[in-house]
Amino acid sequence: MITEYAALNEENPDPEVIQRAGKIIREGGLVAFPTETVYGLGGDALNPESSKKIYAAKGRPSDNPLIVHICRLSDLDAIVKEVPPQTGKLAELFWPGPLTMIFPKSELVPRETTGGLDTVAVRFPSNRIAQALIDASGGYIAAPSANRSGRPSPTLARYCMEDLDGRVEMVIDGGQVGIGLESTIIDLTEGRPTILRPGFITQKMLEEVLGDVEVDRALIEPDSGKAPKAPGMKYKHYAPRGELVIVEGKCDRVVAGINEAVREKRARGMKTGVICTDETKAMYDADSVKSTGSRCDEQSTAKELFRILREFDDEQVEYIYSESFSDGDLGQAIMNRLMKAAGHRVADLDQGERLL
């Protein structure tokens, strides 16, 4: 298959390209497109064959459900059986935007789309290209992140091409995404509202509306043996090809510890990389030192993280050491992704743990 590549301006997306892309999806094909979080790999959410194609193109296990994207609140009713009472308030505050809500699904949504579940995850993205495409595609696009399974989610169209060229009909380039981490997923269907995946909409923001909000324990305690409630969270994810370790502790100790590890790896002929911030960048002497931006700017960390992980792969870096980013409001979301990428390898130098 030849993949068509089209660049669009979010302020004024070319209607002709949008119509062509919409037709591809209505006819059962796949289009990668920008959203405000990460690029999505879109197919017709109501067509079981499209969902099967999405799993095949990504190389994704088919028990891992897809998020259904809508472009009008009024389109929600047709795909859900029941709307939990707090939905209206959340939609008013956070839709369109980076929040996904779980609902009991209606008959209209095929089980191929929901990975066999009776529930459906729904999101109303704010990106204008995404909205126009959803509209042109019939109103319901199933879209996981547009990466091959296991790789970091794409924040630029060129990464969609890298992973999916020849596997999808079209890739729409809308520039670098604004947020860079996938949407927050909240489940309101059973008991207390529960965050199944942390994201840009934080626990604190949700608690201001809902009162107490839980975080799926399996996300916080990966060793608990419990399966995460969002099936996709159990899979290995985001992992760069090199070995990644998160290094915690006082700043000077982290810098010294990483530099010592870098020297040791270099002596053995290994290529090393560091993920850090503008404040510390000059202090590291690894082969490739990448800053996420200022330590004070956690939105920049969120936006740059997946790109940096992919760049280390391009540069064939073998050992990667990352500073920790747990402090700010987005700490939960950023560390969730970073910990998965690191296979939960953390060295706390303040606790006397060693890097070598």
State the residues that interact with Mg ion by CB under 5 A. Answer: 145
Footprint (CB under 6 A) of ligand TXA, residues 160-189: 182-183, 185
- The distance of closest approach from Cβ of residue 251 to ligand TXA in the complex, given in angstroms and rounded to an integer, is 32
Asked if 78 touches ligand TXA (CB under 6 A), the answer is: no
Asked if 117 touches ligand TXA (CB under 6 A), the answer is: yes
Neighbouring C-beta atoms of residue 190, cutoff 10 Å:
11
Task: Please report, for residues 47, 141, 307, the alpha-carbon distance to residue 138 in angstroms, rounded to integers and kept in the order given.
Answer: 11, 8, 32
Burial of 214 (0-12, 13-18, 19+ CB in 10 A): middle
C-beta closer to Mg ion: residue 35 or 277: 35
**Spatial separation of the C-alpha atoms in residues 290 and 244, rounded to whole Å:** 14
C-beta closer to ligand TXA: residue 232 or 273: 232
Tell me whether the omega of the peptide bond preceding residue 96 falls within 30 degrees of 0, making it cis.
Answer: yes
The secondary structure of 313-349, three-state, reads HHCCCCEEEEECCCCCCCHHHHHHHHHHHCCCCEEEH
Position among 80, 121, 274, 330 found at the interface with ligand TXA (CB under 6 A):
121
Interaction partner, residue 40 (Mg ion, ligand TXA, none; CB < 5-8 Å by kind): ligand TXA
- The distance of closest approach from Cβ of residue 145 to Mg ion in the complex, given in angstroms and rounded to an integer, is 3
Position among 231, 328, 331, 343 found at the interface with ligand TXA (CB under 6 A):
231
Residue 106 DSSP one-character state:
P
> Which residue has the CB atom at the shortest distance from Mg ion?
145
What the block records as the tokens of 212 is: 């107490």
Interaction partner, residue 123 (Mg ion, ligand TXA, none; CB < 5-8 Å by kind): ligand TXA
Position among 102, 133, 317, 341 found at the interface with ligand TXA (CB under 6 A):
102
**Spatial separation of the C-alpha atoms in residues 257 and 59, rounded to whole Å:** 38
Asked if 336 touches ligand TXA (CB under 6 A), the answer is: no
Asked if 65 touches ligand TXA (CB under 6 A), the answer is: yes
C-beta closer to ligand TXA: residue 263 or 344: 344
Instruction: Please list the residues that pair with 319 across neighbouring strands.
Output: 243, 272
C-beta closer to ligand TXA: residue 111 or 241: 111
**Spatial separation of the C-alpha atoms in residues 349 and 339, rounded to whole Å:** 17
Residue 46 gets the label, from left (phi > 0), alpha (psi -120 to 50) or beta, of alpha
Asked if 302 touches ligand TXA (CB under 6 A), the answer is: no
Interaction partner, residue 97 (Mg ion, ligand TXA, none; CB < 5-8 Å by kind): none
Position among 101, 134, 143, 317 found at the interface with ligand TXA (CB under 6 A):
143
**Spatial separation of the C-alpha atoms in residues 292 and 289, rounded to whole Å:** 10
User: Residues in the site for ligand TXA, rule: CB under 6 A?
Assistant: 35, 37-38, 40, 64-67, 100, 102, 114, 117, 119-121, 123, 143-145, 182-183, 185, 196-197, 229-233
